[in-house]
């Protein structure tokens, strides 16, 4: 009898092990991720350290990864250079906010609006339209630069914010992403809302958008990153309209004398998208608890 | 009045559908479709610079396509290499991204930081940042001799591998070791770099799986292996297609063939050949993509 008891106990223990990963397995996974993570984080670590290095350490050869005497000298220099730019520097920041903000929000709204009927309605031409979207994603932006420029100047929005903002709303990728996620939402959810008298827009805004929150946050992160990286040098000629990235690149391009400033610039440019990503990521985690879907 | 009543429900719904799409469609037609048509037009004609109207395009039939496919020595070869690279990369990227997403979706200390770390390559790959990094590096190492033209050229690809290699060289490792390791790690680095967005998409997909399914699986006594194949994988399947398309688009945009057509346009100033190249490669990749997606879609499980 005692033997049987131990056997039962052993089996139960074995089972528990399968359900929840063992401590060793967890440790192994953590190690694996840490290994990959170190490799991926290295550029950022060097970026941050470089920004904090005094000039003599930046020019040191061979270079070191970690800073020995951290200093904010580079940032101070950056502020000095920034303060005597041609147009006040706050203007560049304002431009970036406008372009990135409208580009991101507009794209998420327009793409979600368009994705909703593509995912959940039936109408003629739907499949053709969707195929064209996929096709358009293949169309490399680099190769079509000349037609793009001609269209923008034909529309008369050359050298305005619109030249950067409007085309960004129609990137095919966002529509594609939103459509794929909206397709996953059960029809019954839509039908019950309809029975309760909700209009199409209410269904879209109050039911679909909250349920695909992870998707549109992902999209926002992507779009933000893309708009943030846009220097707009192709369409914006007026100095007053140029975004911050352009000004910072000009500052950083000043040769060896500006090496420290250039490191600080790289840090500043990289910092904002990463922060935005972190904020969005924490939001994505919260969605899980708030979506109350029961089939 | 009577006419209004005749409108069927399906018709009304179609109209609402179009209304929702309208803001997107208008811009899409004006901007993207038009540039597509202009590129097609250029690829079919003999483009030359004209001092009065900017350019002149005389219709030349399929001459450009004939040239790039039959006479141009490099095009076919580069196209095949690019396709091969994409075919090798895509399954690796998808597997890696799904694996990473599942790991990052679990609860452990420092999860947010890890997620951010895996997104770093995407952020670093963006033009402004990679330019800034390259500039900072050039200023520190290359000194005055470096020109800004060289910087922009070296940061044209999204995979900033040169930067890593230069980094290790700067630290002082012998170059033979670096070459060997780079050769071996080349693909891996590319895969990891390409997987950033896919990881985020997969995390979002995993988040949208109802937790009740996992509870049921647990109650029924499924092992985690079984849970993966019977719950997670089928539920994520539609998003595998999403990621597949994204990966192909991404890999294609940074592939050699696009770079070659870009060079053709902007270095050799032959817009007609370049357009024809871009179109040909695009059609080939799209054809393959559509076939693969259709095949996967057949085997995909849809929740409703």
**Which pLDDT tens digits describe chain B residue by residue (304 residues)?**
445 556 677 787 778 888 888 888 888 888 888 888 888 888 888 877 777 766 777 787 788 888 888 888 788 888 888 888 788 778 888 988 898 888 888 777 777 777 777 777 777 766 667 777 776 666 666 544 444 444 443 443 444 566 667 777 777 767 766 665 565 566 666 677 778 788 888 887 887 788 888 889 989 988 888 888 888 888 888 888 888 988 888 888 878 888 888 888 888 778 888 888 888 888 888 888 889 888 888 887 776 5
Residue A64 DSSP symbol? P
In a domain, B175, yes or no: yes
Nearest to B192 among A30, A40, A136 (CB): A40
Residue B300 has which token pair? 């995909």
* Counted domains in chain B: 1
Residue in B with minimal Cα distance to A275: B116
Contact predicate B256/B160, CB 8 Å:
no
DSSP letters, B206-220, are: HHTS-HHHHHHHHHT
Contact call for A43 and B163, based on CB within 8 A: yes
Per DSSP bridges, beta strands B54-59 and B45-50 are: antiparallel
In a domain, A171, yes or no: yes
State the smallest CA–CA distance between residue B185 and chain A in angstroms: 11
DSSP letters, A233-266, are: TTT--SGGG--HHHHHHHHHTS-GGGHHHHHHHH
Tell me which of A47, A59, A144 to substitute to probe the interface with B (most B C-beta atoms closer than 10 Å).
Answer: A144
Whichever domain contains A90, its CATH number is: 1.10.3720.10
In a domain, A101, yes or no: yes
* Counted domains in chain A: 1
Residues 6+ apart with CB under 8 A from A48: A267
State the smallest CA–CA distance between residue B215 and chain A in angstroms: 12
In a domain, A130, yes or no: yes
In a domain, A33, yes or no: no
In a domain, B13, yes or no: no
In a domain, B51, yes or no: yes
Q: What is the pLDDT of residues A131-161, one digit of tens each?
A: 888 878 777 677 777 888 888 888 888 888 8
In a domain, B16, yes or no: no
The interface pTM score, or ipTM, of the predicted complex is: 0.71
Q: How far apart are CA B93 and CA B37, in angstroms?
A: 33
- What are the beta bridge partners of residue B56? B48
Whichever domain contains B216, its CATH number is: 1.10.3720
Residue A60 to residues A55, A66, A267, B71, B174: CA-CA distances in angstroms? 9, 12, 19, 51, 18
Q: Which residues on chain B are in Cβ contact (under 8 Å) with A231?
A: 127-128, 131
Report chain A's terminal Cα–Cα distance, integer Å.
Answer: 46
Contact call for A44 and B17, based on CB within 8 A: no
Contact predicate B247/B122, CB 8 Å:
no
Q: How far apart are CA B151 and CA A147, in angstroms?
A: 26
3-class secondary structure, B63: helix
Contact call for A288 and B274, based on CB within 8 A: no
Q: How far apart are CA A238 and CA A227, in angstroms?
A: 19
Residue B40 to residues A22, A121, A273, B68: CA-CA distances in angstroms? 59, 32, 36, 15
In a domain, B21, yes or no: no
Q: Which residues on chain A are in Cβ contact (under 8 Å) with B136?
A: 50, 252, 259, 262-263, 265-266
Tell me which of B22, B28, B103, B143 to substitute to probe the interface with A (most A C-beta atoms closer than 10 Å).
Answer: B28
Which sign, positive or negative, has the C-alpha torsion B100, B105, B110, B112? Answer: positive
Q: Which residues on chain A are in Cβ contact (under 8 Å) with B12?
A: none
Residue in B with minimal Cα distance to A148: B35
Q: How far apart are CA A178 and CA A204, in angstroms?
A: 12
Nearest to A40 among B118, B212, B282 (CB): B118
Question: Which domain, by its residues, includes A236?
Answer: 85-252
Residue B267 has which token pair? 């270095």
Q: How far apart are CA A255 and CA A241, in angstroms?
A: 25
Q: How far apart are CA A182 and CA A188, in angstroms?
A: 13
Question: Which domain, by its residues, includes B218?
Answer: 44-298
- pTM, 2 dp: 0.75
Contact predicate A138/A76, CB 8 Å:
no
């Amino acid at each position: 009898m005692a033997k049987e008891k131990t056997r039962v106990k052993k089996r139960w223990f074995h089972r528990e092990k399968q359900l929840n990963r063992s401590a060793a397995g967890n440790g192994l996974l953590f190690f694996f991720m840490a290994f990959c993570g170190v490799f991926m984080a290295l550029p950022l670590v060097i970026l941050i350290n470089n920004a904090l290095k005094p000039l003599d350490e930046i020019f040191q050869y061979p270079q070191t990864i970690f800073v020995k005497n951290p200093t904010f000298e580079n940032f101070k220099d950056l502020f000095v250079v920034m303060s005597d730019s041609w147009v006040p520097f706050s203007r560049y920041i304002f431009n970036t906010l406008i372009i990135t903000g409208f580009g991101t929000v507009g794209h998420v709204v327009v793409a979600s609006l368009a994705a909703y009927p593509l995912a959940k309605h039936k109408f003629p031409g739907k499949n053709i339209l969707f195929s064209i979207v996929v096709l358009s994603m293949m169309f490399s932006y680099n190769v079509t630069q000349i037609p793009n420029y001609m269209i923008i100047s034909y529309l008369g929005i050359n050298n305005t914010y619109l030249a950067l903002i409007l085309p960004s709303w129609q990137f095919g990728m966002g529509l594609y992403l939103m459509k794929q996620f909206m397709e996953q939402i059960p029809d019954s959810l839509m039908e019950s809302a309809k029975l309760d008298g909700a209009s199409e827009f209410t269904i879209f805004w109050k039911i679909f958008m909250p349920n695909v929150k992870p998707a549109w946050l992902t999209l926002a992160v992507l779009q933000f990153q893309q708009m943030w990286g846009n220097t707009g040098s192709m369409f914006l000629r007026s100095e007053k309209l140029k975004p911050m990235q352009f000004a910072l690149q000009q500052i950083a391009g000043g040769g060896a004398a500006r090496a420290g400033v250039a490191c600080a610039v790289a840090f500043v440019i990289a910092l904002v998208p990463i922060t935005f990503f972190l904020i969005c990521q924490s939001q994505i985690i919260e969605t899980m608890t708030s979506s109350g879907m029961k089939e | 009045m009577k006419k209004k009543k005749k409108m069927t429900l399906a018709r009304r719904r179609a109209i609402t559908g179009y209304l929702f799409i309208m803001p997107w469609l208008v811009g899409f037609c004006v901007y993207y479709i038009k540039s597509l048509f202009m590129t097609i037009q250029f690829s079919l004609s003999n483009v030359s610079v004209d001092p009065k109207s900017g350019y002149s395009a005389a219709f030349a039939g399929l001459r450009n396509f004939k040239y790039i496919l039959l006479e141009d020595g490099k095009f076919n070869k580069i196209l095949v290499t690019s396709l091969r690279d994409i075919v090798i990369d895509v399954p690796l990227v998808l597997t890696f991204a799904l694996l990473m997403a599942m790991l990052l979706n679990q609860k452990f200390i420092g999860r947010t930081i890890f997620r951010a770390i895996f997104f770093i390559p995407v952020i670093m790959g963006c033009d402004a940042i990679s330019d800034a990094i390259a500039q900072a590096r050039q200023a520190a190492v290359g000194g005055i001799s470096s020109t800004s033209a060289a910087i922009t050229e070296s940061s044209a690809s999204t995979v900033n591998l040169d930067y890593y290699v230069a980094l290790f060289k700067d630290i002082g490792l012998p170059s033979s070791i670096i070459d060997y390791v780079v050769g071996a790690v080349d693909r891996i680095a590319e895969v990891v770099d390409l997987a950033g967005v896919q990881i985020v998409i997969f995390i979002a997909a995993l988040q949208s799986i109802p937790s009740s399914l996992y509870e049921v699986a647990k109650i029924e006594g499924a092992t985690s292996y079984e849970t993966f194949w019977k719950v997670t994988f089928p539920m994520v399947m539609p998003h595998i297609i999403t990621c597949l398309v994204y990966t192909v688009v991404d890999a294609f945009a940074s592939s050699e063939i696009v770079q070659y057509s870009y060079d053709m346009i902007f270095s050799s100033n032959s817009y007609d050949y370049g357009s024809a190249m871009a179109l040909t490669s695009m059609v080939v990749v799209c054809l393959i993509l559509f076939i693969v997606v259709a095949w996967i879609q057949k085997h995909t499980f849809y929740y409703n």
